[in-house]
Structure 1
C-alpha cells in the first residue's frame, strides 16, 4: 500500500465511491489497493467489496455473482460507482440486468457510473432501455492503479464528479472549418458498439458517435467501421469522433496499410453523407483520457486547430 498523498488533508470530502468488477477478473489486486489509496486522497470514501476481487475462470465471479454486484451497487448509497477494469463479461448479463433499478439510482439519486472498455456494453444498454446518462472515463485498476495517475485524467474525472464538467477540447487538424453540430454523445469501445448492432441494446441514436479500441489490427477496425456503415448507423451521425486505437502490430503483409488507411477509408465513405470524421480525441486504452458524459446532448465546435465539446446538461 503506498503512502497517502501528502495533499490528502486538503482534499474536499466527496462521498462514497464503490468499486465494481462487472466483467473480467482483477489480475493485479495490488493495483486496486493503490487505486483505493489515490481515490481516498481525493476525498472519496472507498468501498471495496469481496466481489471486486472474486474470480471464476476469466471473470470476476460467476454471472450470478456479477449480476448481484451490479444490482447491489445500484441499491447502495454510493455517489460514484467505478469499474475496476474491463475485459469481457457484461454482454453475458445484458438480458438479466434490472435497467429500471439502475436508471432510478442514476436519475433520481444522481449516482454516477463510470468506466470504459467492456463497460461500454452496459452504457449502451442503459441508454437504449432508459436514456440514463453514464460516464465514459477512468477505471480503478487501469487508471488509478498507477503509482502516479495522469493529471488530465484525474482532473477531468473530478470535474464530472463535482458537476463542473462543461466543456473539453483537443487538438484536431482534420475537422472541417466551420464545424458546429449538436446531438447526443454516445459510443465507446468499437468492438462492443458493433457487437450490439441488431439487438435491443444498441441506442437508435442519431448523434455524435465516439469510438476507440485496443489490440485490434487496422483491417479489423476497418471491418467494424464497415459494419457500422452497412447497418446504417454511421450515416445517421452528426459527427464521428475517433479516440485512440492502440496495441496492434503491423506486418510486412500490410504493405503500407495502417490505421490511417482505415480512417481515410471511413472518411471517404461518410463524405457523401456529410458526416465528418475527427481524430485525436483523448480517450481509449491510454493513460490520458477525458471523462465524457455518455448520453448527453453535446455541441461539437471547431475553433482554430482545436475541437471543443460542450456539455450544457452534463451535471449528474
Structure 2
C-alpha cells in the first residue's frame, strides 16, 4: 500500500466526477489518498490562487516519510506562473534525503523540467488522477505500466517504429513539447546534452508540431541529442488545405533535415494508453528498423 498526495499546480479540475473515480480506484487498490481538497479548489481558471498552487509544490520539501507518491490532478495551464517563486534549494535538500515518486504530464512538464534542472530530481511523466486513473474505463496498460515504472529499478519498453535502425544511450528528458519550448532561454531549463529527447502534445496541427520542433532545431538543441522520440500527437484536424501534408510527412521532413535518429509511435502522452517515463533517468535505445526497445534505469522507486 502506498500513500498518495494529490497536488494541483495547474488548471481547475473541470471533470470532478473523473477525479472522484480516480480517488476511489486508488483506494480500492489499497492505497491511501491525501490532500483531496485540491480537487475542488478553484480561482478563476486555475486550481487555486498562485500562492495556493505554489504551496502544493513547496510543501514537497516537508513530506512525511509515509508519503511515497505525489500525483498531479490534471494539467491545463498555470505551472509556468509558479517557476520563479519555487524555493528550489529547500526542495533539492529534501529530495537529496529522499525523492518521492512525483508523477504528471502536460502543463506539469514545466515544473518537472525545472526540478530536474535546479535540483536534479527525477520525476515521472505519466498518468494523472482525473484524465487517466479517473477515465470512464481505466486503461489496464497505463495502470500496470505506472506501477511497473515506479517499483522496478530497470524496465524495458518495446514498440513499432518504421524508421531507420539505430542505437543510442543517454539521459531521458522531455515531456510536453509546447511546455518544453516555452521554457527555452529561461533559468529554469538546463538543456540536457547527449540525451534521448522524448516529446508529446495534443491538439496541435502537424505544422505547429513542426514549428515547435524546428525551434528546438534552430536553437541547436536537437543536434546535441543522441535521439528524438515522438510520442502521441493526437487531437488535430486536417483539411483539404493541407494538400496531403500530415504528421507522417512532417516526420519525413525531420528525418531528412536532422542529423540524429527520429523515432515515432511510442504510446506516450495524452492518450488513454500511455507509458510512464522517468525524466532524468538513463535510457538505452535499440532499434532494428521496425521494433524499438528502450531500457530505463537509475530512477527512484518505491521500496
What's the TM-score, normalizing by structure 1?
A: 0.90
Secondary structure at the counterpart of residue 314 of structure 1: coil
The CA deviation at 1:303 is 4.7
Name the count of aligned residue pairs. Answer: 298
The CA deviation at 1:52 is 3.1
**1:189-228 maps to which residues of 2 (within 5 A)?**
189-206=176-193, 207-228=195-216
| Alpha-carbon distance between aligned partners in 2 of 1:105 and 1:159, rounded to the nearest angstrom | 25
The CA deviation at 1:164 is 4.7
Alpha carbons of structure 1 residues 181 and 152: separation in structure 2 relative to 1, 3 Å:
same
Which residue is 2:148 aligned to? Answer: 159
Secondary structure at the counterpart of residue 311 of structure 1: strand
CA deviation profile, 1:58-103 (whole Å, cap 9, x unmatched): 1001111100122224422221000010001111110001223333
Runs of 4+ displaced beyond 6 Å:
none
Which one of 154, 157, 163 corresponds to residue 168 of structure 1? 157
Secondary structure at the counterpart of residue 118 of structure 1: helix
**1:257-276 maps to which residues of 2 (within 5 A)?**
257-270=245-258, 273=259, 275-276=260-261
CA deviation profile, 1:111-157 (whole Å, cap 9, x unmatched): 01001100110111111112110001000000011233111111111
The CA deviation at 1:306 is 1.7
Which residue is 1:83 aligned to? Answer: 72
Which one of 271, 275, 286 corresponds to residue 286 of structure 1? 271
Structure 1: unaligned runs, 5 residues or longer: 1-12
Instruction: Indicate whether 1:97 and 2:78 are aligned.
Output: no
CA deviation profile, 1:139-186 (whole Å, cap 9, x unmatched): 000001123311111111101232354221112221x32x22110000
Structure 2: unaligned runs, 5 residues or longer: none
The CA deviation at 1:304 is 6.7
Alpha carbons of structure 1 residues 81 and 150: separation in structure 2 relative to 1, 3 Å:
same
Alpha carbons of structure 1 residues 265 and 229: separation in structure 2 relative to 1, 3 Å:
same
**1:29-108 maps to which residues of 2 (within 5 A)?**
29-77=16-64, 78-108=67-97
The CA deviation at 1:291 is 0.5
CA RMSD, Structure 1 to Structure 2 (Å): 1.5
**1:292-311 maps to which residues of 2 (within 5 A)?**
292-303=277-288, 305-311=290-296
